[in-house]
Amino acid sequence: MTFRRIVIVLVLVGGFAYLTTLNFSPLRQRFGGHGPIAHLSLTEAHAAPEYTPDELNNMAVYKRALPSVVNVTSASLAYNFFLQPVPQQDQGSGFILDKQGHILTNNHVIAGGQQIEVTLSNKRRYKAQVIARDPSHDLALLQIDAPDLVPATLAQTSRNLVVGQKVYAIGNPFGLNGTMTTGIISAIRSIHEPRGQLIENAIQTDAAINPGNSGGPLLNSHGEVIGINTLIATNPNENVEQSAGIGFAIPIDTAKAVVGDIKRYGHVRRPSLGITDLSIGPDLAQQMGLAADYGVLIQQVYPGGAAARAGLRGGNQIAYMGNWQLYLGGDLIVGLDNQRIANTQDIADFMNRHQVGDSVIVTYYRGRHKATVKLTLQEAHERSGSA
């Protein structure tokens, strides 16, 4: 009986092997096998692809800018519920300013960091020293000691940027070094960061900006830095912080002014009129009965500030525009040093070109009476929405 069983098993195994080796098509198809495919062909290009002018420029911008972009790592120790030390690490980007190793990044990238490291595009790492911080503008200046550094090229000014202009963001999103994304300038607007700081004339872009891009350069089509990527708008319904197609960069004019102060004074001393203000357009001017349909309406004057010392006045009547509280009755500023001031962005541009202690002539309306007054710019304090 046992012998019979063995013979039956051998016959079955042999039959199966015979059928499969002879390419018995119904059985092979059932088990997923296929024979040779004689008529399958692939179509390949006859020559290397020719890049479009736009692609060539993208490559040129990347090649020019990448050596100046760095990865910034900020390490610190936190303590858990049981008072045990827990290492923490934040990452961001930055860019090299000069061959002496000065690097510009966002202050929030290194805030709270006890040890700062910079990784260059050639993968070499260096410990960084914090030279200065400017929380009010969310900027920080670092320095490393490294050879053969390649400084970034800064645009001459960010005042002439135009909506629709092509831009590039290079940085280290999610730790992915040397990543470049492209987009356009979507708008120029002043915004508040989540930490409360006001970014005057922020560059809004649809170039993908993600966590890790903060502090990296926003570039124009010539590879010149026009801004410092600092903020992204996220979808409130998503738990993951990632690009929603709306990012913001600090304009390079603001960064230049901050770095200029650090170089001159060793710390940041931005000039200020010492006021809170409100941009005025034709509609608001008509509703408020103002003497001009443009300018900056003084909301409040800070005691002891430049405007207060010059005798300028803030509003004394509370009004509401929807849920927005504002003050009526203040002086309406329409000019600084014979330069037309149409809105708060014009004041920000003016301040970026001046220093603490400069004397300026303010042209303003008090009611229907137009007047001028001379004042001395004083140092700005960290007040949200102040000029």
Amino acid identity, position 172 = N
Q: How far apart are CA 99 and CA 102, in angstroms?
A: 7
C-alpha gyration radius of the chain: 31
350, 336 contact by CB (below 8 A) = yes
Give CA separation, 101 vs 113, 146, 282, in Å: 19, 7, 49
The catalytic residue positions are 108, 138, 214
CA-CA distances (angstroms) from residue 299 to 14, 256, 274, 276, 361?
97, 29, 11, 5, 20
- DSSP character string of 176-231: -TTEEEEEEEEEEEEEE-TTS-EEEEEEEE-S---TT-TT-EEE-TTS-EEEEEEE
252 CB-near residues (< 8 Å, 6+ apart): 154, 155, 157, 158, 225, 226, 227, 228
> Which residues, in sequence order, are bridge partners of residue 227?
218, 251
Residues 206 and 232: their CA atoms lie apart, in Å, by 10
User: Does residue 294 sit in helix, strand or coil?
Assistant: coil
Element (H, E) at 307: helix 306-310
